[in-house]
Amino acid sequence: METTLKGKVALVAGATRATGRAIAVELGAAGATVYCTGRTTRERRSEMDRPETIEETAELVTRAGGEGIAVRVDHLEPEQVRALVERIDTEQGRLDVLVNDVWGADKLAAWSTPIWEHPLDDGLRLLRLAVDTHLITSHHALPLLIRNPGGLLVEVTDGTWEYNSANYRLCAFYDLAKISVNRLAFSQAHELRPYGCTAVSLTPGWLRSEAMLEGFGVTEENWRDATVHQPHFVISESPAFTGRAVVALATDPERERWSGQSLSSGQLAREYGFTDVDGSRPDAWRYIVEVASAGKPADATGYR
């Protein structure tokens, strides 16, 4: 297996924070040139209204050992995405890894609210941000990706196909958005296969994102203090865990065996042997089914 992505070019769409940022940084740590896109810059915030910026992400990529390039892009605007891909083609002449991680709809989902009571405009906007952005980005970027065999497309979602197919995901709009991304990876795998390229969907577990840590009033250093209020947070993982999963796929010359599949960070950690930042291998989706959803007391023994 290769140990470096030096000379490879990646686009992480939705790299401002959380999983997208960590994927970009881990790709950079493996030596890749990473285009980091999103809507929040130091001059202008998106509707998420959070402080993380794409410039910070690009600087973290460079600091990790790669080359980070920040580009403000609204992935709902096809012309902006087209211009981005043309820039990558002009500057690099190739694209080896595309990560569709655009989301930005946290404030739009009304949890445990039936579809007839859910604000319709918010629900439809959520679907546009979660699904249309991925379709638009793939439409413009995949012609560059398939120029060379071996390209990798990662569709980032929340939940495996198995879990999302069997469980209601908090509201109809969110439920549809997340399983749609699972299916989108399957469809694109079929279309990419003749070109020697791979597409997968990938989900983190219970993510210790900036917003999640902030909500619990903890940091990455003392996150376990949050288990006092939410005991099952014991299975949580850092965003870097999913970033390392993407690097493992990108550096595996036999990654095509995964094409079309729904994968999780914990599953790939068992396969490739990487760990989270604390040296553990949390298997969140198995824990959620076997412990949390089963009504058992919080105990991550055997799950990380």
H or E segment at 154?
A: strand 152-156
CA distances from 219 to 201, 267, 283 (A): 28, 26, 21
DSSP structural state of residue 203: E
Rg (CA), the chain: 18
Instruction: Tell me if residue 174 is catalytic.
Output: yes
- 105 to 53, 92, 138: CA distances (angstroms): 16, 31, 20
Catalytic site residue from 35, 163, 174, 303: 174
Torsion of CA 44, 17, 146, 142, to 10 degrees: -50
| Sign, CA torsion 272/278/280/285 | negative
| Catalytically annotated residues | 174
